[in-house]
Structures are given as structure tokens and as C-alpha cells.
Amino acid sequence: MTLDEIDAIASALAGCRRKGHPGRAAWYVDNRLVVRQDEPGTLMVRVDFPDREQLLTEDPDTFGLPPRWEKHRKLQADLDGDPRAIARAIRLAWQHQRR
């Protein structure tokens, strides 16, 4: 996936807006982080712990969990992974942040 595709997915969600700066785009809802660029070729998606575990189990080729994020509600998505799984993770993150 490209960042333009990520932008289209995230921006289509009610109240989700792109912020950040060049090289570190991020999308927020109500000033709460949903997803942002991470290391080259990856995204950081902010999901609740049960959703994170489910996504990791269902699609380990798309999602990972760097050790530094184990205690946080974060998940790393590989932009070369399954686009449907990434879109689902973004929607879950958006739902979590709207609570």
C-alpha cells in the first residue's frame, strides 16, 4: 500500500484527519492518534490489546509487534502486507479512539 491509499482509507472515516509533517504523516480523530508512518515501509496503528492480538494471529505476515511496543496499544503494519487487513486495522483503531 501507499501512503495515498492509507490517506484515502483513514480520511474516509468520520472525523479522521491527516496531520503530521513531511516524512511522518499521521491521522487523528478528535486529536487522538489512529495511525502514523513509522519506520520506512511500515505504519504504527493504535489498536486495543484484544484487537492487536487478533490481528497478529490472523495475519502475521502483515503485522508485527516490536518489543518496545509490547506494553502499549500499538501494532506495526507492513505496507507490503495485505491491504484488506491494514484497512481493517485502521478502522479498528479509529473505533477505539472514538470511545
Indicate which CATH number applies to the domain containing 86: 3.90.1150.30
Instruction: Give average pLDDT by consecutive 10-residue segment, the chain, 99 residues.
Output: 95 94 89 94 96 97 96 97 98 91
Domain encompassing residue 78: 3-97
* Cβ contact 44:76 at 8 Å: yes
Predicted pLDDT at 71: 96
How high is the pLDDT of residue 84? Answer: 97
The number of distinct structural domains making up the chain is 1
What is the pTM assigned to this prediction?
Answer: 0.94
Task: Say how many CA atoms lie within 13 Å of 24 toward its Cβ.
Answer: 3
